[in-house]
Amino acid sequence: MFQPDAFKFSIESQAFGVCERIGDKLKMPVKNIRLFFIYASCLTIGSPIIIYMILAFWIKMKDYVKGKRIPVWDF
């Protein structure tokens, strides 16, 4: 059976955390940043998705270099 809360939790736990990091840096609500990415993606036919993926890669590499590794078993 489909459980919306379980689906939402799995998506949020496996997301890259780009919007959360941007929100922490800019002291803005994460919801507004996520909405911006969604609306901008719809209006510009997906180009912010490329920027999001580049930022996700950059954040993961930065965490890897600093030693903030996420264990495999936490998912």
pLDDT at 75 over 60: no
Residue 9 lies in a domain: no
pLDDT at 32 over 60: yes
Range of the domain at 44: 16-74
Q: Which of 20, 22, 23, 24 is nearest to 12 (CA)?
A: 20
Residue 2 lies in a domain: no
Whole-structure pTM value: 0.63
pLDDT in tens, 47-62: 888 888 898 888 888 8
Count Cβ atoms below 10 Å from residue 48 Cβ, excluding itself. Answer: 18
User: What is the model's pLDDT at position 28?
Assistant: 92
Residue 57 lies in a domain: yes
pLDDT at 1 over 60: no
Residue 59 lies in a domain: yes
DSSP SS3 for 29:
coil
Residue 6 lies in a domain: no
Q: How many domains does the chain have?
A: 1
